[in-house]
């Protein structure tokens, strides 16, 4: 009954409008027009509204980064006509998801840029009928769990570990700005980050959907798995939990021997150093929603922290075994000395560094020491039920079952005799309970061999191609399971029931 009464009270309340401040400048200055030739502002704040609550409120909903949002900072004034070297920035289209206020721009030579306001507008995260309730104010207030300036720290760290990155810079958008097209009004008076996109020509970088489609065409196209693993360990180390498919671009690079290698390009570092579970109610929410992990000296729930990227992780990291995760973690440790950490964290505005710099540095050092253990936990989460996926071309899956492991190698069926496999990995029952081999070509062959005697207790599932065709299987079939993919059947591509030879 108490929960129902609380829910009724929340729904009956109204969201406070307008929310926040119309101008990031100090109130006395915001009351006056910004002079036409002004090139910078001082004392601006990303969101003073987050720091207007008392001690009881903070104990219930968390202190988060409220003081950081209200901290006074200096920022240059954005001039779209001169913000890029060699010419003006021209607005293209609005970006962002359910919360971000962002705009894509094009500069000289077709270079692409992104402008993202530091503050958010999360009303789209709620159903229409709740957007005028007290819940909207609660969701808005949760924005204070993010450090609005954290993205400034990332570039030197990413550079050191070999991860592509942009280099955002803090800007202030004039209250009368009209050079950002139809979205000008959404940015006026705000602090924002302006960033040239890494490898920023549209034809050079694919989105995740297009990249996966190219990889499905044939084995010559593949994700740079070591590079993606470095990028994901960097995400975990920084506490960046929001790494779904739309947060990545993919630079197409010619691969040795032909084909294309897709190198990851992380985007939108909005949730780096996220701090959430420092209030009574957020602690309950973070237990119910484990992806909302708080950045601190300990990693906490690694599986939850990585959860948002699970779909992409299972595909891009399929070749990476336990040793690959251990090597990548050790390499990151060696590439991130204390001097680099100090230089990176000092990229925060001075007032923000005074509030958070020492604590952030201490947490980064502690997490660096714990990175091998976090990488091992991350590996175990992905290794439990992995899938090896083929392509639209015909392939030969060679499986050998031993007493302590299952070895898998995948060859192009049309490749020359003696050609090496394009995929090879050994799975052990200590980490893996079930393994799926997903063939997609119409003439895939599954060659399954079993050693004499007892073999590793690891369930093996073969998925054939769409349509009536069925893969060919050869070799002993002890403990071999052949199943149709429910997703294929739901998509209108049922797989014919297996015959006696496939069981």
> Rounded to an integer, what distance in angstroms lies between the CA atom of residue 427 and that of residue 405?
6
117, β-bridge pairs: 192
pLDDT of 475: 43
pLDDT of 11: 39
H or E, element range at 291:
none
Q: How confident is the model at residue 493 (pLDDT cuts 50, 70, 90)?
A: very low
* Cβ 448 vs Cβ 409: under 8 Å: no
Q: What percent of the chain has pLDDT over 70?
A: 83
**Maximum Cα interatomic distance, the chain, rounded to a whole number of Å:** 85
Average pLDDT over residues 378-389: 94
Average pLDDT over residues 2-20: 45
265, β-bridge pairs: 249
pLDDT tens column, 36-57: 889 999 999 999 999 988 999 9
**Residue 320 predicted with pLDDT over 90:** yes
- Burial label for 125, CB within 10 Å (0-12, 13-18, 19+), is middle
Higher pLDDT, 453 or 238: 238
Which residues have CB under 8 Å from 6's CB, separation 6+? none
Mapping DSSP to helix (H, G, I), strand (E, B) and coil, where does residue 472 land?
strand
**Residue 476 predicted with pLDDT over 60:** no
> Rounded to an integer, what distance in angstroms lies between the CA atom of residue 217 and that of residue 211?
10
Which segment of 58-62, 322-326, 444-448, 477-481 scores lowest on mean pLDDT?
477-481
Distances from the Cα of 394 to the Cα of 314, 389, 411, 472, 476, angstroms: 22, 12, 9, 11, 22
Q: How confident is the model at residue 413 (pLDDT cuts 50, 70, 90)?
A: confident
**Residue 464 predicted with pLDDT over 90:** no
> Rounded to an integer, what distance in angstroms lies between the CA atom of residue 469 and that of residue 444?
10
Mapping DSSP to helix (H, G, I), strand (E, B) and coil, where does residue 241 land?
coil
**Residue 87 predicted with pLDDT over 90:** no
**Residue 344 predicted with pLDDT over 90:** yes
pLDDT tens column, 269-293: 999 999 999 999 999 998 999 999 9
> Rounded to an integer, what distance in angstroms lies between the CA atom of residue 442 and that of residue 472?
10
pLDDT of 381: 95
**Residue 296 predicted with pLDDT over 60:** yes
* Average pLDDT value over all residues in the chain: 85
**Residue 129 predicted with pLDDT over 80:** no
pLDDT tens column, 219-275: 999 999 999 999 999 999 999 999 999 999 999 999 888 889 999 999 889 999 999
Average pLDDT over residues 483-488: 36
Here the tokens at position 386 are 């992995």
Higher pLDDT, 120 or 2: 120
Q: How confident is the model at residue 399 (pLDDT cuts 50, 70, 90)?
A: very high
Q: What percent of the chain has pLDDT over 90?
A: 61
> Rounded to an integer, what distance in angstroms lies between the CA atom of residue 102 and that of residue 197?
13
CATH topology of domain 155-164+203-378: 1.10.1070
Tell me the pTM: 0.87
Where in the chain are the domains?
21-145+165-198, 155-164+203-378, 384-502
pLDDT of 127: 66
pLDDT tens column, 94-108: 876 566 788 999 998
Mapping DSSP to helix (H, G, I), strand (E, B) and coil, where does residue 12 land?
helix
**Residue 18 predicted with pLDDT over 90:** no
* Cβ 72 vs Cβ 45: under 8 Å: yes
Q: Indicate the Cα dihedral angle 133, 138, 139, 145, nearest 10°.
A: 170
* Cβ 103 vs Cβ 114: under 8 Å: yes
Instruction: Number of helices (H) and strands (E) in the chain: give both, helices first.
Output: 17, 20
Mapping DSSP to helix (H, G, I), strand (E, B) and coil, where does residue 52 land?
coil
């Amino acid at each position: 009954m108490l929960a129902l009464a609380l829910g009724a009270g929340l729904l009956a309340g109204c969201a406070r409008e307008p929310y926040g401040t119309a101008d990031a400048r100090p109130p006395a200055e915001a009351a006056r027009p910004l002079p036409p030739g002004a090139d910078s502002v001082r004392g601006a704040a990303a969101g003073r509204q987050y720091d207007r609550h008392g001690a009881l409120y903070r104990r219930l909903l968390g202190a988060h980064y409220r003081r950081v949002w209200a901290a006074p900072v200096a920022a240059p004034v954005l001039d779209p006509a001169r913000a890029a070297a060699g010419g003006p920035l021209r607005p293209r289209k609005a970006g962002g998801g359910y919360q971000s206020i962002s705009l894509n721009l094009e500069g000289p030579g077709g270079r692409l840029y992104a402008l993202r306001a530091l503050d958010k507008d999360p009303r789209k995260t709620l159903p229409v009928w709740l957007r005028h309730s007290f819940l909207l104010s609660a969701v808005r207030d949760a924005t204070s769990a993010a450090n609005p300036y954290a993205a400034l720290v990332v570039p030197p760290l990413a550079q050191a570990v070999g991860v592509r990155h942009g280099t955002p810079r803090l800007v202030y958008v004039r209250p009368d700005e009209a050079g950002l097209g139809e979205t000008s009004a959404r940015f006026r008076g705000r602090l924002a980050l302006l960033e040239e996109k890494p490898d920023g020509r549209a034809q050079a970088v694919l989105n995740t959907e297009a990249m996966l489609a190219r990889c499905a065409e044939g084995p010559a196209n593949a994700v740079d798995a070591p590079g993606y693993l470095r990028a994901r360990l960097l995400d975990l180390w920084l506490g960046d939990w929001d790494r779904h498919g739309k947060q990545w671009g993919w630079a197409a690079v010619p691969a040795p021997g032909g084909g294309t290698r897709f190198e990851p390009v992380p985007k939108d570092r909005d949730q780096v150093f996220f701090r959430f579970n420092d209030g009574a109610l957020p602690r309950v929410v973070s237990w119910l929603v484990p992806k909302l992990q708080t950045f601190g000296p300990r990693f906490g729930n690694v599986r939850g922290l990585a959860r948002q990227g699970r779909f992409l992780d299972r595909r891009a990291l399929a070749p990476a075994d336990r040793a690959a995760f251990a090597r990548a973690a050790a390499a990151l440790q060696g590439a991130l000395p204390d001097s680099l950490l100090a230089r990176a964290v000092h990229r925060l505005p001075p007032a923000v560094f005074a509030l958070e710099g020492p604590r952030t540095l201490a947490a980064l050092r502690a997490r660096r020491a714990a990175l091998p253990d976090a990488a091992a936990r991350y590996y175990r989460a992905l290794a439990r039920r992995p899938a090896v996926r083929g392509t639209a071309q015909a392939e030969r899956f060679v499986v050998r079952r031993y007493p302590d492991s299952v070895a898998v190698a995948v060859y192009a069926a049309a490749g020359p005799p003696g050609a090496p496999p394009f995929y090879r990995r050994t799975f052990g029952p200590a980490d893996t309970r079930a393994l799926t081999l997903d063939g997609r070509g119409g003439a895939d062959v599954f060659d399954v061999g079993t050693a004499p005697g007892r073999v590793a207790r690891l369930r093996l599932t073969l998925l054939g191609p769409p349509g009536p065709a069925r893969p060919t299987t050869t070799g002993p079939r002890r403990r071999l399971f052949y199943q149709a993919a429910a997703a294929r059947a739901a998509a209108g591509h049922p797989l014919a029931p297996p015959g006696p030879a496939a069981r």
